[in-house]
């Protein structure tokens, strides 16, 4: 009877709806906050957001990020601050996509795309340099030969970021407060967030002393 009971369960499952997908032929839609390959962002004027503070490298539990900052050239500054990310490398043989680097970044320079289908035939390809991570002149990630990008993988790479002031001021909770990005402008709000352009006059009058941009 034991064998018959087992076959009964197996036969019953043949007619039930499957909970798995036929990967790679069939792929599930990716959620808005999916953690994939990183990108280094720029401001709308083309300036790099990374200031070389190394906070992302310090907070990384896998120790896969290496950053070396340098002073901005006086004649041709790379970022709006005094320093910029001269060297930026991520070792994807060690990265666990925890997104702590994104949380730690004070300028929203590093965020993650939805790309996860990429593999390497040698160690050099697995260590992404700044030239590979920085977005192009259109603000989009730069695809590499060993990456398989799909439509939407480069959309809203920083859209998930919370807009809460560093001091935890509840006035900023659920408000879009990140800065504009090259090729995108200000990211559209997520569900539950408020569009800053639609605030009432009373809200604006209460925030004359403290602006959302001050939280960065």
Tell me the domain boundaries of the chain.
31-161
* Peptide bond preceding 24 in cis form (omega within 30 of 0): yes
Q: Is the pLDDT of residue 167 over 50?
A: no
Please report the pLDDT score of residue 212 as a whole number. 46
The terminus-to-terminus CA distance of the chain in angstroms comes to: 68
Q: Is the pLDDT of residue 176 over 70?
A: no
The CATH label, of 3.10.20.90, 3.30.70.100, 3.30.70.3270, 1.10.1740.10, for the domain at 31-161 is 3.30.70.3270
Kindly report the CA angle at 132 between 69 and 23, in degrees rounded to 5?
Answer: 130
Backbone dihedral region for residue 200 (phi beyond 0: left; psi -120 to 50: alpha; all else: beta): beta
Q: Is the pLDDT of residue 216 over 50?
A: no
What's the mean pLDDT when you consider all of the chain?
79
In 88-173, alpha helices (H):
100-104, 123-126, 130-133
Q: Is the pLDDT of residue 200 over 90?
A: no
Q: Which residue has the higher pLDDT, 191 or 97?
A: 97
**Helix, strand, or coil (residue 42):** strand
Mean pLDDT to the nearest integer, 10-30: 81
> Nearest 5°: phi and psi at 183?
85, -15
Q: pLDDT-based confidence at 60, cuts 50/70/90?
A: very high
Q: What is the pTM of this model?
A: 0.72
Please report the pLDDT score of residue 201 as a whole number. 44
Q: How far apart are CA 137 and CA 199, in angstroms?
A: 32
Q: Which residue has the higher pLDDT, 171 or 106?
A: 106
Query: pLDDT > 70: what percent of the chain?
Result: 74
Range ranked top by mean pLDDT from 112-116, 165-169, 178-182, 207-211? 112-116
Which two tokens mark 42?
A: 């720029």
Burial of 202 (0-12, 13-18, 19+ CB in 10 A): exposed
The sign of the dihedral angle between the CA atoms of 207, 202, 108, 174 is positive
Segment among 22-26, 40-44, 106-110 with least mean pLDDT: 22-26
């Amino acid at each position: 009877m034991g064998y018959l009971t087992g076959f009964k369960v197996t036969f019953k499952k043949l007619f039930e709806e499957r909970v798995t997908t036929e990967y790679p032929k069939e792929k599930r839609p990716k959620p808005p906050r999916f953690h994939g390959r990183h990108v280094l962002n720029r401001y709308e004027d083309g300036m790099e957001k990374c200031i070389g503070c190394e906070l992302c490298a310090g907070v990384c539990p896998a120790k896969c990020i290496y950053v070396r900052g340098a002073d901005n050239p006086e004649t041709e500054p790379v970022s709006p601050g005094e320093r910029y990310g001269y060297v930026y490398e991520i070792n994807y043989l060690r990265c666990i996509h925890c997104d702590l680097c994104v949380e730690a970044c004070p300028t929203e320079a590093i965020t993650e795309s939805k790309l996860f289908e990429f593999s390497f035939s040698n160690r050099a390809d697995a260590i992404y340099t700044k030239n590979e991570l920085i977005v192009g002149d259109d603000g989009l990630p730069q695809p590499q030969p060993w990456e398989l990008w799909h439509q939407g993988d480069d959309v809203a790479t920083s859209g998930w970021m919370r807009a809460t002031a560093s001091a935890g001021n509840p006035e900023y909770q659920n408000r879009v407060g990140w800065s504009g990005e090259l090729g995108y402008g200000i990211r559209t709000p997520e569900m539950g967030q408020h569009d800053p352009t639609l605030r009432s006059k009373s809200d604006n009058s209460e925030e004359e002393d403290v602006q959302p941009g001050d939280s960065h």
